Structure 1
Amino acid sequence: MDGRKTPLYDAHIKGQGKMVNFNGWQLPLEFEGIIKEHQRVRTLAGLFDVSHMGEIMVVGIGAETFMQRLVTADCAKMSDRQVTYSFLCHEQGGVIDDLLVYKFSSQRFLLVVNAVNIEKDLAWVKAKAPSDVAVWDASEGYAQLALQGPRSQEILAPLCTADLNALRPFWFVDQTMVAGRTALLSRTGYTGEDGFELYLAAIDALPVWEALLGQGGQHIAPIGLGARDTLRFEARLPLYGQELSESINPLEAGLGAFVKFNKGDFVGREALWRQKKAGLRRKLVELEMVGRGIARAHYEVYKEGRHIGFITTGSFAPTLQKNVALALVEVEHSSAGGMVEVSIRNSMVQARINEDIFYESVYRRKGKKGE
């Protein structure tokens, strides 16, 4: 099998991971089965190798001013050691990539980007950067692990020098120690559960991986790409290339809260503002399949025989025990409760637009409780 190897490749082989080529990387699709791994993360804890993700550094006197124009987030309002989800948009408002922005200070930022887009993102950011800002690809220097699930904190705490009770969601600590190794640690993730992401030197990935699995015992297991996708999808978290792309913008994807129009100008603002004021023509909706069948990505969606959109992601949702999907449809046919048809293998299968069907992430649950 061709493809780059992460520092944990041998550990995955030893753990009998089913390896696949994912965006040029050899990564485990599953270990003990996608549904079993999915349920483990929802109820206990799982450990992911996400070392294929990209890391881009933005450093210099003008870094914050540059970031304000580069991404949709308001980086000036971010505190040091804060993380935010954001977008790189082109001038027409489409998404070049979605990413996490880590702010060390007004002069130092880390951008964590999708593996498939590292080269594209790096070229875009470098082309936009002023002379007082340095931009470089730091990906080779990092391995990244994600520890996710309700037991994550109790597993990590004995191995970590940071005060995890004080580490709130979307904040990070730098230069902390995990299993005796230096790490950047953030309370972030891509599963809908509480958890942490660890950025380590490549040489430190294996000892930390083994320490976490050893500490967690029967409450933790390695998790592959398959469950990572079902977990994120079930929690309605977007995947670049499906819910977001250069032709699907954040407003259409229902992610307008992450586009800060009031911060001043940024790349794509004018186009997105025009669309916001004029009204959307299409919208991402949540579908619950009524008929038998799973609506896969790119399947066409119809309303009374008329084509109105397409599926972006569809799957059986293990926690919900339902076949569900996300679809980009014409806004006039996006009302909750409405019935549509999905073309599945030359048959029209009914689905209902249901705004409350997807899994509610831990952060949304805490927000409702005022925590």
Structure 2
Amino acid sequence: MDNLKKTRLYDAHIKYGGKLIEFARWMLPVQYEGIIEEHEAVRNAAGLFDVSHMGEIKATGKDAFNFVQNLVTNDISVLEDNQVIYTFMCYENGGVVDDLLVYKFNKEDYLLVINASNVEKDFQWMLENKMNYEVELKNISEEISEVALQGPKAQEILQTLTAFNLDDIKFFYCRRDVVIDGIKCLVSRTGYTGEDGFEIYTNNEDITKIWNSILEAGKTYGVKPAGLGCRDTLRFEAALPLYGNEISKDITPLEAGLGFFVKLNKKSFIGKEALVRQKEEGLKRKLVGFEMNERGIPRHGYEVTSNGENIGFVTTGYMSPTLKKNIGLALIDSKYTELGTEIDILIRNKSVKAKVISKKFYSKNYKK
């Protein structure tokens, strides 16, 4: 593991008993106290995540708006200054390059936050599609560290460390001038857990102070440091997609049930023609939720069958810590996607019965 990258919070993870694993060429904590304990802390109080491995690309210049608008599936023309939007970059065939957040500071200044595993690929894709746009693209991923404070007590905790009124940051908005414990930060009301919370970006040198200050301030509120393990169970319960699972170069946003973030009435964007065609022809496969009727935990990649015939595969599956049920998401043949349809999950070469249910496993608790 010596050749893996470490975030500036590596020593803090060791101090708090983090169990480190390799993720996207980074050494990151999968858990501290335990996945269930950390998951429940986020649902009931707050959890603090190191997400410094995420990638950040700046897009600035006269044509920054036109460049980003052509690059992504969502419509950034609706954004106000300091607003954030969730979207996809797609290949010409409609497959997903990556999912990302676009932060608009003004019409000539955007920040694109991308997945750690895709930073080099994504940045190359952006450069290849820069064309004649007058826009400067800069990969600042190595200069920025980021933590995510998530949970119903997140605002109360963070408010003790800043004079800035956090009520002024609405859901999916941001501010670049929030001073937390003496350190200037970019703070957005965004996250990946289905709970209210904030993502906090600052310079590498200052992130350890931010981390320690939040954990100290949050002691009486029940905050816990949280790892990648519960990050995945939390986002899964909230039916939030993971690149490489629910979306990929081989799975379009429409197949994943994420058409809301694909504005086909937009004048143009990369992949539009393929996605328009896919919608017109009808989806041959769709992402569904399912619940196990028999014992067994479904896992990513497990085969889904009906009457012995392969109809798709599990994209994510867990014993849900909140629902206390074995549930999953699967991409399957559209003929089998009606709620209540019985399907089989192949677990260690044995067919285990399941049924199709709504993907809305957990009601999101965002502060609008």
1:27 aligns with 2:23: no
Partner of 1:160: 162
Give the aligned partner of residue 132 of structure 1: 134
DSSP 3-state at the match of 2:122: helix
Letter of the 1:175 counterpart: D
SS where residue 263 of structure 1 aligns?
coil
- Distance in 2 between residues matched to 1:270 and 1:223, nearest whole Å: 41
Summarize deviations over 1:276-312 as a string: whole Å, max 9, x none: 1111000000000111001101100011221100000
Within 5 A, what are the aligned runs for 1:139-288?
139-218=141-220, 219-288=222-291
Contact in 1 for aligned 2:239/2:359 (Cα 8 Å): no
Q: 2-side partners of 1:175 and 1:139: how far apart? A: 20
- 1:351-370 to 2 correspondence within 5 Å? 351-355=354-358, 358-363=361-366
Q: Decide which of 309, 314, 321 is 2:312's aligned counterpart.
A: 309
* 1:75-94 alignment, distance < 5 Å: 75-94=76-95
1:75 offset after TM fit, Å?
1.1
Cα deviation, 1:224-268, whole Å, max 9, x if unaligned, reads 110111111111110000000000000000000000111211000
Counterpart position of 1:339: 342
Runs of 4 or more above 6 Å deviation? none
Task: Indicate the percent of aligned positions where both proteins have the same amino acid.
Answer: 51
Map 1:287-298 onto structure 2 (within 5 A): 287-298=290-301
Per the alignment, residue 54 of structure 1 pairs with 55
Cα drift, residue 162 of structure 1: 2.4
Q: CA deviation at 1:357?
A: 5.7
**How many angstroms apart in 1 are the aligned matches of 2:295 and 2:176?**
49
Aligned partners of 1:162 and 1:173 also within 8 Å: no
> Aligned partners of 2:193 and 2:335: how far apart in 1?
31
Residue 10 (structure 2) aligns with:
9
**Is the 1:56–1:111 Cα contact (8 Å) retained in structure 2?**
yes
One-letter amino acid matched to 2:252: N
Shift of 1:113: 0.3
Instruction: Give the whole-Å Cα distance in 1 for the aligned partners of 2:171 and 2:320.
Output: 25
Q: Which runs of 5+ in 2 are unaligned?
A: none
Q: Offset at 1:178?
A: 0.8
After superposition, what is the alpha-carbon deviation per residue over 1:187-227, rounded to whole angstroms, capped at 9, x for unaligned?
00000000000001001100111110110114111001101
Structure 2 residue matching 1:262: 3-state secondary structure: coil
Deviations 1:134-182 (A, max 9, x none): 1110111100000000000000012123221121110000121011101
Is the counterpart of residue 18 in structure 1 residue 19 in structure 2?
yes
Aligned AA (1:40): A
2:100 corresponding residue in structure 1: 99
C-alpha displacement at 1:346, in angstroms? Answer: 1.2
After TM superposition, the score normalised by the length of structure 2 is 0.98
Distance 1:111 1:357, change over 3 A: closer
For residue 356 of structure 1, report the CA deviation from its aligned partner: 5.9
Letter of the structure 1 residue corresponding to residue 178 of structure 2: T
Indicate conservation of the 8 Å contact 2:245/2:300, yes or no.
yes
Query: SS of the residue aligned with 1:32?
Result: coil
**How many corresponding residue pairs?**
365
Cα distance in 2, alignment partners of residues 198 and 359 from structure 1 = 25
Equivalent-residue separation in structure 1 for 2:74 and 2:305 (angstroms): 35
Query: Within 2, Cα distance between the matches of 1:355 and 1:16?
Result: 37
Q: Is the 8 A contact 1:288 1:357 kept in 2?
A: no
Alignment partners' CA distance in 2, 1:205 and 1:172: 18
2:117 corresponding residue in structure 1: 116
Separation in structure 2 between the aligned mates of residue 208 and residue 136 of structure 1, nearest angstrom: 25
**AA partner of residue 316 (structure 1):** M
